[in-house]
Amino acid sequence: MNTYLRILRYVGPHKGLFALAIGMMAVWAALDAFSYTLLIPFLRVLFNQGDAMGGLDTFLSPTAGPVVQFLRQAVGWAITGREPMSALRNVVLFLFVVYAVKNVAYYVSQVSVAVVEGRVTRDMRNDIYGHLLRLGFPFFQRTRAGQIISRVTNDVEQMRSLATSNLAKLMWELMQAIFALVVMLGISWKLTLVAALFMPPMLGLWARLRKRLRRGVLKVLDAVGETASHIQETVSGIRLVKASGAEGWEEERFRKLTRGQYRAWVKNERWRRFFTPATEMITAVSILAMLWYGSYLVLYEKSMIPETFIAFLLFAGKLMSPVKFLAQFPATVQPGLAAADRAFELIDAPVEVFDAADALPVDGFRQAVHFEGVGFHYAADAPVLHDIDLTIRPGEVVALVGPSGAGKSTLADLLPRFYDPTSGRITLDGRDVRTLKLAELRGLLGIVTQETILFHDTVRSNIAYGRTDASQAEVEAAARAANAHEFIAHLPEGYDTVLGEKGTRLSGGQRQRIAIARALLRNPPILILDEATSALDTESERLVQQAIEQLMEERTVLVIAHRLSTVRRADQILVLEAGRIVERGTHDELVARNGLYRRLYDMQFGADESMKAREYEGTDALRPVPSPGGA
């Protein structure tokens, strides 16, 4: 119930339009009931040769007074005293007008509901996606991408009708039931009681199936998410799949997932579809009971005329339809409620990195970045960093080296607050970064990684990502500085060429130069480099290295180095092992120390060290730039 009430809050901003829909439903239900009551005078005229209203009070129960008075005021003047064909013509004209107005009301209500449903779905998706963007990296590490996509798309689609179409249908059926029940009581309270006796079994049937259906739907949705995750992983890694000849293996894995999804779906559908024939059987027994007892009232007790009995049966049929819907309603909404639980689970995921209530503005980088006793862990029993102390001054180049898993990337991720330290603190010009406005802090940083992120958009949009105010001249200037303008100019549409997903239409070196152009356009004072050239061929590496040199000019640089030749000219080299800084110094100092750095260096270069040194002799890569004031 709480889930449903939470969904209904999305209707609040559109309550005026939804109220119009409900009002039109009420008009429809009232006119629908009136059209059926018109059958009573119609049948009276037909069976009694024109005596439409006379004797009507006698054959209706005492509680029918309002019904009789309503019929007299609405159509009595057009029927009483007229010849049979004239009276029938007038009744038919009344029915035509009623049906015309009723269907106009129906159309207006349905269009209104559809508009509200579209708005509610839009708002739900916007809220989920907006919250998704605010979630921190830990969430994305522990949640499969396919599950996230499934919740934003499939689950929202499942729940879209809960607050609109299903609610409107519920109100619709409820109004029909109320109007039908009022008229039925006016015709015969005894027959109405017979009809009411069969409602509790329907509700009891639902009570036994509700929890079972909820569990079943959740299992189906989880299976759908797992299938989506597998598809997403396979599409992302299709090159590896084909290169490994693993198509058959992946197909079997997918078949296993779809078998699980199929079994969960069939098991749930067996119970859900049992509900409809069960309620139909209860309805059939109810109608047969009314037929038997109504016939008794007409033939033996003679307290009801045939015309009113026929009208009562029609109203009973009208009543049974909403009663069945109301009984089945909980089963109908179970898929949506289960989907809503999953979607709200995403909305309720805590934002682990956020602005403090009194966050301070960032006015640049002038003094130093300090890591003071910084520790970090993803899980409490598995620390990744221990007691990191580090100072980075403006204009310095600081390199992080060490074996895989030493914590280099994690340390670099703490500066832009992709994660917050679990102990110690990081300060920018003496202020804890957790007290600064997050967007402004990240505005100081440019990040270029080995895995270049490009979007399915134009070259211009990819370079200007995050800088929507950038002019074409600024975009081109950044591309020229990144050695990218020449190949961009040769693309089919130049800067308007739409790149494939992840930039697959470009080579690795071209993608890296686009990423460097993006960083140049941002013009950040602090740069984080994660070995942007390690996966490139010699020519691409040369072009990218030149672009990096341009990017590094007059900037503070934190570089994560896998190829030690790229850090020879760094101001500081920090050697990490098992999350600790075990060595620090310049290249020459660390080589002379004959520790871990020397062993790593020898493993990479060995006897070719002198050749590698000569290879990089002519490059200015990572050459420190004096900071203002000689810092």
pLDDT tens by residue, 154-205? 778 777 766 666 777 777 778 877 877 877 777 777 888 887 777 677 666 6
pLDDT for the residue numbered 372: 94
pLDDT band at residue 615 using 50, 70 and 90 as cut-offs? very low
Compute CA 66 distance to the chain's CA centroid, rounded to the nearest angstrom.
52
- E-assigned strands of 347-444? 369-379, 382-392, 397-401, 423-428, 431-432
Domain annotation for the chain: domains and CATH numbers: 2-347 (1.20.1560.10), 369-444+524-630 (3.40.50.300), 455-501+508-518 (no CATH)
> What are 526's strand-pairing partners?
445, 556
Cα 16 to chain center, whole Å?
Answer: 26
- Among 7, 339, 50, 315, smallest CA distance to 191 is for 315
Q: Is the pLDDT of residue 54 over 60?
A: no
Flag whether pLDDT at 50 surpasses 50: no
The residue among 326 and 575 whose pLDDT is bigger is 575
What pLDDT is attached to residue 178? 80
pLDDT single digits (tens) 435-489: 999 889 988 998 888 777 888 888 999 899 888 788 999 999 888 888 889 889 9
Task: Pick the most confident of 343-357, 417-431, 542-556.
Answer: 417-431
Please report the pLDDT score of residue 565 as a whole number.
63
CA 341 – CA 353 distance, rounded (Å):
24
The whole-number pLDDT of residue 202 equals 65
Q: 198 phi and psi, to 5 degrees? A: -100, 0
**Residues β-bridged to residue 530:** 449, 560
- pLDDT the model gives residue 267: 81
pLDDT band per the 50, 70, 90 thresholds, residue 69: low
Query: Would you say 624 and 393 are in contact if contact means Cβ atoms under 8 Å apart?
Result: no
Greatest mean pLDDT among 277-291, 411-425, 493-507: 411-425
What is the residue-averaged pLDDT of the chain? 78
Of 603, 582, 580, 601, nearest to 592 by C-alpha is: 601
User: What is the SS3 assignment for 559?
Assistant: strand
Q: pLDDT confidence of 48, banded at 50, 70, 90? A: low
Token code pair at residue 494: 């130049």
**For residues 115 and 95, is the Cβ–Cβ distance under 8 A?**
no
Q: Is the pTM of this model over 0.85?
A: no
Handedness of CA 609, 611, 615, 620 (dihedral sign): positive
